[in-house]
Structure 1
Amino acid sequence: MPNGRCRLHGGLSPGAPKGNRNALKHGRYTAEALARRREVAALVRAMRALAGAAEEGE
């Protein structure tokens, strides 16, 4: 509506607040956290490959 109010409820304009403050609440999707998870996943893959190679050698 032109006056900036919700036409159904009369409150302020609906919608999310400016900026993504919700993601900063826990930091799960920061660049550092994503990089750390990728690194851990790569280490787990390497350990599984190494364990598989050791089992084949027995």
Structure 2
Amino acid sequence: MTPMPDQLRNAPRCQARNRAGKSCGCPAVRGKRVCKSHGGLSTGAPKGPANGNWKHGRHSNEAIALRRAASALLKELVDA
């Protein structure tokens, strides 16, 4: 059996927990808290309608920006 290189031995470990409450122990992906088996390589859910949980666009960044702009314009008209 070959000895483990120091770089791998000193790498931060995966923070994912199993059902017994112990940590995974595999090396974590660089810049993440978990290993590749527990989602370290995942970039997250898709944005917008591509996400299966998408209901409407009421709280999207574009809709919020549009409401703020309309509110600011209305405030200008009322103050003038």
Q: If the length of structure 2 is used for normalisation, what is the TM-score?
A: 0.34
Relative contact order, CA 8 A, sep 6+: which one is greater? 2
Q: If the length of structure 1 is used for normalisation, what is the TM-score?
A: 0.46
Normalized per residue, which structure has more helix? 1
